């Protein structure tokens, strides 16, 4: 699994990253907080900032990190880290010096939610991190939830997708590979990370999640419309297309 060691080291020192049905129905999902709930709550709905403030990049080499203020994010802000390729250097076969960019932006279509979208030029493969709780302190109580669900609005090719949660000084994670053969760019789909499958050397205290990080290394552009903590009832009633496992990934 690819890791941004600089970000992880900084957080360790500081502590010693589809269309949601609710968005389609127009329901407002409450932001997750320090109060435990057995109902769906939102980690990020990507409704702001939009415009120029919502852009990260473009870059043709190296990396960039931007902190965005957003009322729709659990800590009141999100950090987005974008690197070209896996190391910040352009891929050797990027003959045309193509760029990579991330943007939080509203849709022009009524009823379609805002999204975090990536734009990758030909052979310009990007690595994206979303980080919550690093630039602004937070303490989430997700102990009554079953897991965390990501809603995608398309993925051009496959991706390596990792998710981690933090307690002060420790973290646990789960990773899944999204296959190229499944992922036409226009298809909405969901990915679940059950709490029981998010593992590490130490046991995570789900009553005090102090940071959340997601990492997506994709061969093509994608859109992410929502991240929600969901109860068992939602996971059972509407199973995700993909579910991360500590041992193997599963596809529905």
Tens digit of each residue's pLDDT (9 = 90 or more) over 101-160: 999 998 888 877 899 999 888 777 789 999 999 988 899 999 999 999 999 988 888 889
Write down the pTM of the prediction.
0.86
- Read off the tokens for 43: 């980690």
Rounded to whole angstroms, the Cα distance separating 89 from 9 reads: 21
- Tokens describing residue 8: 């992880």
Phi, psi of 181 (to 5 degrees): -70, -15
pLDDT at 92: 52
Q: Which residues pair with 105 in a beta bridge?
A: 115
Q: What is the pLDDT of residue 34?
A: 96
With beta carbons less than 8 A apart as the criterion, state whether 106 and 100 touch.
Answer: no
Residues of the chain below pLDDT 70: 1-27, 85-95, 181-186, 247-252
Cα 30 from Cα 46, distance rounded (Å)? 14
């Amino acid at each position: 699994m690819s890791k941004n060691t600089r970000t992880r080291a900084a957080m360790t020192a500081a502590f010693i990253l589809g269309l949601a049905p609710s968005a389609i129905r127009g329901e407002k999902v409450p932001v997750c907080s320090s109060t435990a709930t057995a109902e769906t709550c939102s980690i990020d709905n990507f409704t702001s900032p939009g415009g120029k403030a919502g852009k990260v990049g473009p870059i043709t080499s190296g990396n960039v990190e931007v902190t965005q203020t957003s009322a729709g994010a659990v800590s009141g802000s999100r950090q987005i880290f974008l690197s070209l390729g896996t190391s910040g250097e352009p891929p050797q076969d990027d003959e045309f010096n193509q760029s990579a960019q991330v943007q939080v932006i509203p849709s022009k279509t009524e009823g379609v939610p805002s999204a975090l979208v990536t734009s990758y030029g030909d052979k310009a493969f990007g690595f994206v991190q979303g980080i919550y709780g690093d630039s602004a302190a937070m303490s989430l109580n997700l102990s009554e939830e079953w897991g965390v669900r990501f809603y995608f609005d398309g993925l051009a090719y496959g991706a390596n997708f990792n998710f981690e949660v933090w307690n002060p000084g420790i973290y646990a994670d789960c990773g899944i590979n999204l296959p190229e053969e499944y992922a036409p760019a226009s298809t909405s789909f969901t990915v679940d990370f059950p709490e029981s499958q998010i593992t590490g050397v130490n046991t995570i205290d789900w009553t005090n999640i102090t940071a959340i990080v997601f990492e997506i290394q994709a061969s093509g552009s994608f859109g992410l419309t929502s991240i929600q903590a969901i109860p068992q009832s939602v996971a059972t009633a509407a199973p995700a297309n993909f579910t991360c496992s500590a041992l193997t990934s599963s596809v529905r």
